[in-house]
Amino acid sequence: MRTKPVSDEKSQRKRFLSGNGFVPFILRRLLTSVLLVFGVTFISFSITQLVPGDPVAANLGQSAYSDPKIVAAFKVQFGLDKPVPVQYVKYVSKLLHGDLGISLSSKRPVLDDLKEYFPATLEIALVAVFLALVVGLLLGIISAVTRDRLPDQIIRVFSLTGVSMPAFWTALTAFYLFFFVLGWAPGTGRLAPGADPPPTVTGLYTVDSLIAGDFSTFKQAVAYLLLPAIVLAIYAIGVLTRFTRASMLEILGNDYVRAARAKGLPEITVIRRHVLRPALLSIITVAGVAFSSLLAGSVLVENVFSWPGLGQYAYRAAVGLDLPGIMGVSMVVATVYITMNLIVDILYRVIDPQMRDAS
């Protein structure tokens, strides 16, 4: 409320960034996000250097590797002949121009590789996130409202199973059951073998086929997408269900919920308006972390379903000691994590007026 005379433009800008408004808050968080991404490049670069193993040996054939001339040429081509700090500075300066280097294994720009593989992962991850949010929140709410009664008990068993099963096991079991035994799932990959993918706009087959107006491809893409997405979502559903239940029960014990009930409001209004909203604050935090961890789960799930996504690419880059490839994947994952955190922070302020009012 108090206003101070503004002395010069610099202090005004300073105060703007440190201000409590929505825009300065976003700018501040964006700035730290960019710094974080650079921190991530440094750390993942260091780790790739510390890992024992010779990328040259991993990428050249045995006969080529025994020829010192070829080895030297390979090193020069990929800049491996320079000292490590120089390699890092070169990497970062290229990165600033949007160049992620050339993959040692595919021999293509890493950026092109990522553009090809990332949308596939994004597609199942988005569906998994959606499923996890809807199912996890719904089950958690039902569980909390029917506390200690039958629906709660059943949901608790299922959510505990969900968080306890390792992703590769769920993936294999689901694939065996729904493909081999029941024949409900169409198989592996993103489309039937030989089917043409829709013209690339977003890289998401479902969206692209809709843009192209090709409904049969859309249906097929959805059919192939569903099982891996569900498998990927199971863990997040379990986590969200359990957390939603816990945080709902915590809020249900508050005086203001009793006060809301004392006003004679219908139970559904009490839950929706008075309980769910404050509970969402902590649920969002967990949801952010759970969604980011979907990417980790995708490595295993994609390999089981032969889903040509970032998980498979990461796996191949790691096995082939493809340093630019590994760096590229790290950057994508780090960016997703940081973006998730940013979204969580912004949602916090949208939901909780106290954070906006606080001065």
Q: How many residues bind another protein (CB under 8 A)?
A: 24
Does 353 engage in binding with another protein (CB under 8 A)? yes
CB of 255 to another protein, least distance (A): 4
Among 256, 296, 306, 339, binds another protein (CB under 8 A): 256
Among 36, 80, 126, 265, binds another protein (CB under 8 A): 265
Q: Which is nearer to another protein, 102 or 275 (CB)?
A: 275
Q: Which is nearer to another protein, 200 or 269 (CB)?
A: 269
Give the C-alpha separation, 227 to 19, whole Å.
Answer: 47
CB of 156 to another protein, least distance (A): 16
Does 7 engage in binding with another protein (CB under 8 A)? no
What residues pair up with 109 in beta bridges, in sequence order? 102
Task: Write each residue from 145 to 164 as x if it is in contact with another protein (CB under 8 A), else as -, in one continuous string.
Answer: --x-----------------
Q: Which is nearer to another protein, 151 or 197 (CB)?
A: 151
CB of 149 to another protein, least distance (A): 11
Stretch that binds another protein, among 80-88, 240-248, 252-260, 325-333 (CB under 8 A): 252-260
Give the C-alpha separation, 35 to 237, whole Å.
Answer: 32
Task: Write each residue from 268 to 287 as x if it is in contact with another protein (CB under 8 A), else as -, in one continuous string.
Answer: -x---xx--xx---------
Among 15, 115, 261, 272, binds another protein (CB under 8 A): 261
CB of 18 to another protein, least distance (A): 22
Among 8, 9, 196, 357, binds another protein (CB under 8 A): 357
Does 8 engage in binding with another protein (CB under 8 A)? no
Q: Which two tokens stand for residue 60?
A: 């050249």
CB of 263 to another protein, least distance (A): 4
CB of 346 to another protein, least distance (A): 16
Stretch that binds another protein, among 17-25, 123-131, 256-264, 335-343 (CB under 8 A): 256-264
Cβ atoms of 317 and 311 closer than 8 Å: no
Among 171, 260, 301, 336, binds another protein (CB under 8 A): 260
Cβ atoms of 335 and 35 closer than 8 Å: no
Stretch that binds another protein, among 99-107, 165-173, 265-273, 323-331 (CB under 8 A): 265-273
Interface with another protein (CB under 8 A) = 147, 254-256, 258-267, 269, 273-274, 277-278, 351-354, 357
